[in-house]
Amino acid sequence: MAVDMNMRILIVDDYKTMLRIIRNLLKQLGFNNIDEATDGSMALQILRSGNTYGLVISDWNMEPMTGLQLLREVRADAHLKSLPFIMVTAESKTENVIAAKQAGVSNYIVKPFNAETLKTKMSSVLGDF
Amino acid sequence: MSRDDAETALQKRLDMIRAARGNAVPLEDVAEVVRAILDTMTGEISAGELRVYGELEALAEVIRKTKQEIADIRPDEIKDDFLPTAADELDAIVQSTETAANAILDAVEAIEAVIPTVDAAAGEALSNATMRIYEGCNFQDLTGQRISKVVNTLKQIEERVNTLVAAFGEEIEQVLKQEDGAPRHAEADLLNGPQHPDAASSQDEIDALLASLG
């Protein structure tokens, strides 16, 4: 099944510069319907606002709500639990990856990352595009 | 005083200090106890007591030297000057890299805007180049996170230095008195590197200052 290139994507990071970088990389990959949040609680509010999202790309280390807490909230929410969720983070320790996997992360990207990695991980979650 | 008497007296003093100050006993108090024990050891003393006396004297000397060395490090200066300055400098680095990264992104977005107006081959080349620039701009996020870790470490150091300053206030004051009137390295004091943005003079302000100096 073809990937819907018009799907709504939510990117979450407390660094505005990082949001801008991810947004531009997604645009170059052909995705233009992108919303932003600067922490987990803001992201959760947006996800529950009524719009349907096809993917969340989230940082981990944010306040007040971290990316892992956001992931757990998403997986515990009956309407959001199947939402593809990619963690993009500088946290690269094994225990971090295990914790994210146990919480139900769809894929995991370690910063710094390149466009090819982003595309590969998105394809593994969404299908080829 | 016999060895047993000395140990009893020592234990009594230590118990009094613990009761008054808990387990965090300043070195000054320990030194005072050692001095007091030494003062009581008069009259005929045995070889064993003489050895204890010698060890106590050596201990008193080690404590005195340690106090002086810690005071010489100037923990007050580290607390009041070096640590806050270091934290400000690190904050300025984060701000500078963020400003630089955004300036780069502005320029890249401007390049992307003209891609549709050039031929396909040039457009693809520009598109590949701009993607690599976006990838390279990851550095800002990572440097920010690493610097935050360093700032947290500085805060922990500051807490420990505060404890030192509290314990050695008197000795530090003595060192300060000794340094009064000592010659300062005038030129070295002028070399502070880039100023914090809030404190830095603008080129216009410097031009005005130069003009005012004639």
Whichever domain contains A39, its CATH number is 3.40.50.2300
Q: What is the mean pLDDT of each run of 10 residues along chain B (214 residues)?
A: 67 76 67 71 71 89 84 81 86 89 95 95 95 90 88 88 79 70 62 71 80 80
Nearest CA in chain B to A27: B131
Q: What are the tens digits of pLDDT across the range A77-120?
A: 999 999 999 999 988 888 999 999 999 999 999 988 999 999 99
A7 domain residue, yes or no: no
A2 domain residue, yes or no: no
A102 domain residue, yes or no: yes
Considering only CB atoms, A112 lies closest to which of B109, B130, B139, namely: B139
Does the distance separating the beta carbons of B131 and A25 come in below 8 Å? yes
Interface probe, candidates B111, B131, B138, B140, chain A, greatest A C-beta count within 10 A: B138
Indicate the domain borders of chain B. 3-72, 75-168
Question: B86 to chain A, minimum CA–CA distance in Å?
Answer: 22
* Chain B residues with CB within 8 Å of chain A CB: 98, 101-102, 105, 108-109, 112, 127, 130-131, 134-135, 137-142, 144-145
Give the architecture (CATH level 2) of B75-168. Orthogonal Bundle (1.10)
| Number of domains composing chain A | 1
A74 domain residue, yes or no: yes
A4 domain residue, yes or no: no
Q: Which two three-digit tokens encode residue A33?
A: 């319907």
> In 3-state terms, what secondary structure has residue A88?
strand
A118 domain residue, yes or no: no
Its domain, for residue A26, covers 13-113
Question: B94 to chain A, minimum CA–CA distance in Å?
Answer: 11
pTM of the shown model: 0.70
A127 domain residue, yes or no: no
Q: What are the tens digits of pLDDT across the range A13-34?
A: 999 999 999 999 999 999 999 9
- Alpha-carbon distance of A48 to A10, in angstroms, equals 12
Q: Which residues of A touch B108 (CB under 8 A)?
A: 24
DSSP B38-70: HHH--SS--HHHHHHHHHHHHHHHHHHHHHHHH
Q: Is A112 on the interface with B (CB under 8 A)?
A: yes
Q: Which two three-digit tokens encode residue B105?
A: 């992104």
Distance linking the first and last C-alpha atoms of chain B: 79
Is the alpha carbon torsion for B14, B19, B24, B25 positive or negative?
negative
